[in-house]
A and B are shown apart, each in its own frame.
Chain A
Amino acid sequence: DTEVTQTPKHLVMGMTNKKSLKCEQHMGHRAMYWYKQKAKKPPELMFVYSYEKLSINESVPSRFSPECPNSSLLNLHLHALQPEDSALYLCASEEVSGGAAKNIQYFGAGTRLSVL
């Protein structure tokens, strides 16, 4: 089973709202990722968690706040977003092993976010 589950599938929010995206996997993977994908573009890395600790933040604005409460769950808290933040947000997970170049990332179906 290589399933990564993301909820909600769609989200519409105003610029003053606070919302959260959720990502869950039960494959025992200890690395989890958030990506942002604009239409007709490849995914862009936002955050990386390794063993529940934030290891990479790709200079993402503070209105995006990631959280990894346990090894199976990854959240992305959203606050005071801008219309240009509208995008598909993808979560991914992978098994942490010695040879990172061969690790396969498994993605969820994403959350389509619209900021009005």
Chain B
Amino acid sequence: AQKITQTQPGMFVQEKEAVTLDCTYDTSDPSYGLFWYKQPSSGEMIFLIYQGSYDQQNATEGRYSLNFQKARKSANLVISASQLGDSAMYFCAMRDRNRDDKIIFGKGTRLHILP
């Protein structure tokens, strides 16, 4: 069964430090996509970064980078120089053809940035 695992229910990080949010996935489809979304308390799901299974390089978007380790089926999100506004729930997600291309979300990690 395809699934996404986020093992950190909550994290507390000092402002300006780097943060790594863990995500592992499981799929038998060689073609899949991995996504990270941020959800502040306001509710909006904000797309952060995408990594394709065939991409040779790790994806980066500003302060966000995805540490993609295909053999380990790991897709950790790294936030550099964290800011107070990074406090939010973060969801790792995957989609592949084995589930009709539906997005599967992990349970999320609640990130708290401390001043």
Which residues on A are within 8 Å of B, measured CB to CB? 2, 40-43, 45, 48, 56, 88, 90, 92, 99-110, 112
The docked-state distance in angstroms from the alpha carbon of A104 to that of B33 is 9
**Which residues of chain B have a CB within 8 Å of any CB of chain A?**
29, 31-33, 35, 37, 42-47, 50, 52-53, 91, 95-97, 100-103, 105-108
CA distance A90 to B43 in the complex (A): 9
Expressed in whole angstroms, the minimum distance between the Cβ of B95 and any Cβ of chain A is 5
A-B contact pairs, 7 of them (CB 8 A): A42-B106, A90-B43, A104-B50, A105-B47, A107-B37, A107-B45, A112-B43
Residue of A nearest to B102 (CB): A45
List 9 A-B pairs, minimum CB-CB distance, nearest first.
Answer: A42-B105, A107-B45, A100-B101, A109-B44, A101-B33, A110-B43, A102-B33, A101-B32, A102-B52
Q: Are B97 and A101 in contact (CB under 8 A)?
A: yes
Q: CA–CA, A43 to B104, complex, Å? A: 9
Q: How far is the CA of A58 from the CA of B102 in the complex (A)?
A: 11
Summed over the interface, the residue pairs from A and B with CB atoms below 8 Å come to a total of 59
A43 to B103, CA, bound (A): 10
B31/A101 in contact, CB under 8 A: yes
Q: How far apart sit A42 and B44, CA to CA, in the bound complex (Å)?
A: 12
Query: What would 20 more interface pairs be, CB under 8 Å, given A102-B50, A107-B46?
Result: A2-B47, A40-B108, A42-B105, A90-B45, A92-B45, A99-B31, A100-B95, A100-B101, A101-B32, A101-B101, A102-B33, A103-B95, A103-B101, A104-B47, A107-B45, A107-B47, A108-B44, A109-B42, A110-B44, A112-B43
Closest to B103 in A: A105
Question: When chains A and B are docked, how far (Å) is the Cα of A33 from the Cα of B41?
Answer: 21
Q: Are A106 and B47 in contact (CB under 8 A)?
A: yes
Q: A101-B33, A101-B96 are in contact. Are A109 and B102 (CB under 8 A)?
A: no
Residue of B nearest to A43 (CB): B105
Contact of A88 among B35, B43, B46 (CB under 8 A): B43
Task: Kindly state the separation between the CA atoms of A40 and B39 in the bound complex, as whole angstroms.
Answer: 11
Residue of B nearest to A107 (CB): B45
